[in-house]
């Protein structure tokens, strides 16, 4: 459990948060976390983005330039190491 929490925190710390548009950021896409366990999930439309589900709510994140979200390691990784992206 402790290792999972550390991976979750590292993935979130590595990502760049995208705001809700109120401060000039990108509008956050909708993602249904109601039936999901807390954790990180890839954006089905963009391999450079992912969602964090927490208590039924979703947070949207974009990986730094040149990286994409790896579902296997639950963090942003260089694009060429993420299957199907790049």
The pLDDT tens digits for 30-85 are 889 998 999 999 999 999 999 999 999 999 999 999 999 999 999 999 999 999 88
Residue 27 inside a domain? The answer is: yes
Provide the pLDDT for residue 30: 80
For the record, the structure tokens of 53 come out as 């589900």
Query: What range does the domain containing 7 cover?
Result: 2-81
Number of domains in the chain: 1
Q: Are the C-beta atoms of residues 60 and 29 closer than 8 Å to each other?
A: yes
In-domain check, residue 17: yes
Q: What is the CATH number of the domain that holds 15?
A: 2.170.140
What is the reported pLDDT for 28?
Answer: 65
pTM here is: 0.66
Does residue 86 sit within a domain?
A: no
Asked whether residue 57 is domain-assigned, the answer is yes
């Amino acid at each position: 459990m402790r290792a999972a929490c550390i991976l979750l925190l590292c993935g979130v710390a590595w990502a760049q948060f995208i705001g809700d548009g109120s401060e000039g950021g990108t509008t956050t896409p909708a993602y249904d976390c109601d039936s999901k366990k807390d954790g990180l999930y890839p954006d089905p439309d963009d391999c450079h983005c992912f969602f964090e589900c927490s208590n039924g709510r979703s947070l949207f994140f974009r990986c730094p330039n040149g990286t994409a979200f790896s579902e296997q390691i639950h963090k942003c990784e260089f694009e060429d190491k993420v299957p199907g992206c790049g």
